[in-house]
Structure 1
Amino acid sequence: MDIKEFFKVNFEIEVPKYVQIANNLKNLIETKVIEDGEKLPPIRDYTEFLKVNKITVVNAYKKLQQEGFAYQKVGSGTYAKKKEVVSTFMREYSNTFKRLSTGNLEEAIDFAGETTGELLFPIKDFKDIINKVLDRDGAEALVSQNPLGYENLRKTINKVFWGNDLDNEDILIVSGAQQGIDIASKAILNINDNVIVEKPTYGGALSVFRWRRANIFEVDMEEDGVNIESFEKVLKKNKISCFYTMSYFQNPTGISYSLEKKKKIMELAQKYDFYIIEDDYLSELIYDESVDYIPFKWLDKNDRVVYIKSFSKIFLPGIRIGYIVSPKIFKESIQNSKINTDIATSSLMQRALEMYIAEGKWKENISSLSIEYRKRYKLMTRLIDSELKDSVSYNKPGGGLSFYLTLRDEHITSKLLFQRLVKKGVYITPGALFFRNIKDGNKTFRIGFSQTDKDKISKGLKIIREELELCRI
């Protein structure tokens, strides 16, 4: 191999040579002299080029891998890995919603929200439940208990949602789905391990895997889940540690997996020895009777699924409670990761949630939410078909809280649309937030209806249509 001059290092006496080599390579990667994914010089060639010991180059490459600037392919060599940074647009998007949260929310049309609107919160019921818990348990309700979670809550989750098919000890209470993903990734992934995600996928999960310095492989979504052929190609070429998936009403696409694809992925998990992190997102909100609820975890004969469920998204976002069901192999490490993260989740909220579920209030709340959200879903479907039919394409999700739209006009980007709509008091989620490379999301955006009533849905979609028409002028 002909090693270019920029790989040369003018060694200083005070600093170990392997550190100087690694620092030079980091600088070349950060400044894009060495491109992301470009192969670094073979160890033997680089040793001769620099006139150093082989172990010096080996240690330099190990340092790069440990710091997330390189990864190794067995039998192939070491490759550069550009550390991802927050884009200017990501910051702009974040700052927009920080300003919105401190401004006048009443007038805003928020199609970007992902949680239940405050008017649908079961405030009175939950207040009564909290009073009952305090009357029953007194001060004990305010004291942190088992770091695995309130025992009766774990038992009730097992009974109500799993028919007592689980071991109570396999259920871990966490502070929402985001913490669940973080805890699961810490248990499964090491630096430079490989993870497959859906393309596009939940931005919060991408952030977790980036922080773990994992190598992220994206596989395109089809109408019933990931493309299996592409999925297996990645598996054949790379040692994959886990696959992150949202099996129902995937965020952002709204796609639900077919039973056939779920079974195939379970087979591949066993064949290629990887684990599945299943984020069961909004599966309670099914409006289309053709959608059957059969999560990956129900098909898990080989104990390969980490199941994550949050109660925050459609119940009370402020309580931040969810749970994980983990495979036996990761049970201890997931529990330790939870303890190291925040020791325990609110004891009072856990006890209140347990009583809320045990007394049947949870099912009543979901039933009333489904009635209201089904109305909004149907209205939004009708209005997208009438107001935006010439501007976007989409697949009907059949449930959940949002729609994922693709712009037809090649000259309009979702970033431009977002910026124009903000000035009109309408907020959408551009597709850029759901891809490793934000350019992949240029033509897509998500709109949700959980934070909007019927009048705002009608008004907001009319404004979107008008702005799309103005973009063409």
Structure 2
Amino acid sequence: MRADLPALATRAASVAGSPVRDILALTARPEVISFAGGLPAAELFDAEAIRAAFDRVLAETPREALQYSTTEGDPALRAATAARLTTRGLPTDPDALLITSGSQQALTLLATALLEPGDTVVVEDPTYLAALQCFSFAGARIVSVPSDEDGLDPAALDALVERERPKLLYTIPTFQNPTGRTLPAERRRAVAEVAERRGLWIVEDDPYGELRFAGEPVPWIASRPEAADRTVLLGSYSKIMAPGLRLGWLRAPATLRRACAIAKQAADLHTPTITQMAAARYLTDADLDAHLAHVRDAYRDRRDALLAGLPEALPDGSHWNRPDGGMFVWASLPEGYDATERLRVAVEHDVAYVPGAPFFAGAPDPAAMRLSFVTHTPDEIAEGLRRLTKALR
């Protein structure tokens, strides 16, 4: 007689899979025009320059590129990343950075280093779905702070922190996923002051900041003197170079950064050496800023194509925002509509989007939907909206 195997860990059984990933699997058919995935435009990748960087690394330093390396990251990539941050207004020493396997891993490392089961985490409502998964796996209690069209409400945050005593705030203040919103400078200052006064870690996630194509940049919360010793800034090369490289980084105070490095040693030893070295070579040999200017121009055209077609595509009474960058438009159907139910009809019409409900840690908005505008050309977007019109009407 065979004995039953031990059960899965409670966290593995209780944390659901990503609805976004499930939708992407359902819409993988080539005939589907998808506004669902947060996928950069593949035809805009600087593939030849990236290939040349890999070729040069393998030709010049094959032994180093194919060998184990340090957990903290390739020195050249850390230096190049620090230089980009410094140029953008945040003086950074290379030693202040830890290279990660995408910024998603940085979230996991922070959860490992900071959170005990039962600790409280504050998030925007709605927020990045994978962050909710990450904090749930850590056993955290997740509470949401009220947000409006400009992002989280600092006064509400102050009251919530006083009441709930959370350990950290997770925020995406620039071109937020899923809403595309950008937190104004005054609110960033107020958030930094709350963290200073209440004793709170801030995890500031910035994967989209270099994708601005309108308006003026807003300084990071990490640049505020009130929050400099308690803010972790996360970034990624996924949206500005290529997501398949799986390269991210975290900038953190020394004690926390060291704890994250130890957690990374336990997770994967280090981010792949050859990928780091090739990225560093690319940043030296190629002109990423010129490439990004081309990408931003294309993304602006695609956003404009989406916004131009939404009045016809969505039912009367719908509303949506107009982001100055990033990858997403946040829309809401009229009261009584359920975006999750309508998605099934949309897929039958070979078009897809992401329902907004899974992004909420608090009470969900069933009528909300996230529309990504970067993956398809303006002509494809126009066709996708024609299909969406049929599905929603």
Give me the TM-score of the superposition, normalised by structure 2.
Answer: 0.91
Correspondence 1:171 to 2:80: no
Give the C-alpha shift of residue 196 in structure 1: 0.4
Give the one of 184, 192, 205 matched to 1:279.
205
Give the one of 389, 395, 398 matched to 2:324.
398
Distance of 2:118 and 2:146 partners within structure 1:
22
- Counterpart contact for 2:100–2:247, Cα < 8 Å: yes
The 1:314–1:427 alpha-carbon spacing in structure 2 relative to 1, beyond 3 Å, is: farther
- Counterpart contact for 1:170–1:325, Cα < 8 Å: yes
Indicate the percent of aligned positions where both proteins have the same amino acid. Answer: 27
The 5 A counterparts of 1:413-428 are 413-428=338-353
**Highest relative contact order (Cα 8 Å, sep 6+), 1 or 2?**
2
Correspondence 1:466 to 2:390: yes
The 5 A counterparts of 1:128-207 are 128-163=52-87, 165-207=91-133
Q: Match of 1:441, SS? A: coil
Q: Which residue of 1 aligns with 2:269?
A: 343
Give the C-alpha shift of residue 146 in structure 1: 1.1
The 5 A counterparts of 1:248-327 are 248-289=174-215, 291-301=216-226, 302-327=228-253
Which amino acid in 1 is paired with 2:348?
Answer: K
The 5 A counterparts of 1:22-61 are none
- Counterpart contact for 1:310–1:323, Cα < 8 Å: yes
User: How many pairs are equivalent?
Assistant: 381
Which amino acid in 1 is paired with 2:287?
Answer: K
- Counterpart contact for 1:196–1:217, Cα < 8 Å: yes
- Counterpart contact for 1:434–1:441, Cα < 8 Å: no
Distance of 2:217 and 2:45 partners within structure 1:
27
The 1:381–1:389 alpha-carbon spacing in structure 2 relative to 1, beyond 3 Å, is: farther
Deviations 1:292-350 (A, max 9, x none): 23111111454111110011134211110010001123122111111111111111111
Q: Which has the larger radius of gyration?
A: 1
- Counterpart contact for 1:247–1:281, Cα < 8 Å: no
Q: Which residue of 2 aligns with 1:434?
A: 359
Q: Match of 1:375, SS? A: helix
Range with bigger deviation, 217-226 or 203-212: 217-226
Distance of 1:117 and 1:67 partners within structure 2:
38
Give the C-alpha shift of residue 176 in structure 1: 0.5
Q: Match of 1:284, SS? A: helix
Distance of 1:160 and 1:411 partners within structure 2:
47
Range with bigger deviation, 206-215 or 374-383: 374-383
Q: Which residue of 2 aligns with 1:9?
A: none
Which amino acid in 1 is paired with 2:271?
Answer: T
Q: Which residue of 2 aligns with 1:225?
A: 151
Q: Match of 2:135, SS? A: helix
The 1:461–1:145 alpha-carbon spacing in structure 2 relative to 1, beyond 3 Å, is: same
**Structure 1 moving runs of 4+ over 6 Å:** none
Distance of 1:94 and 1:328 partners within structure 2:
35
The 5 A counterparts of 1:308-387 are 308-387=234-313
Which amino acid in 2 is paired with 1:86?
Answer: A
Which amino acid in 2 is paired with 1:415?
Answer: T
The 1:206–1:300 alpha-carbon spacing in structure 2 relative to 1, beyond 3 Å, is: farther
Which amino acid in 2 is paired with 1:197?
Answer: V
Which amino acid in 2 is paired with 1:112?
Answer: A
Deviations 1:340-368 (A, max 9, x none): 11111111111111121223421122111
Q: Which runs of 5+ in 2 are unaligned?
A: 1-8
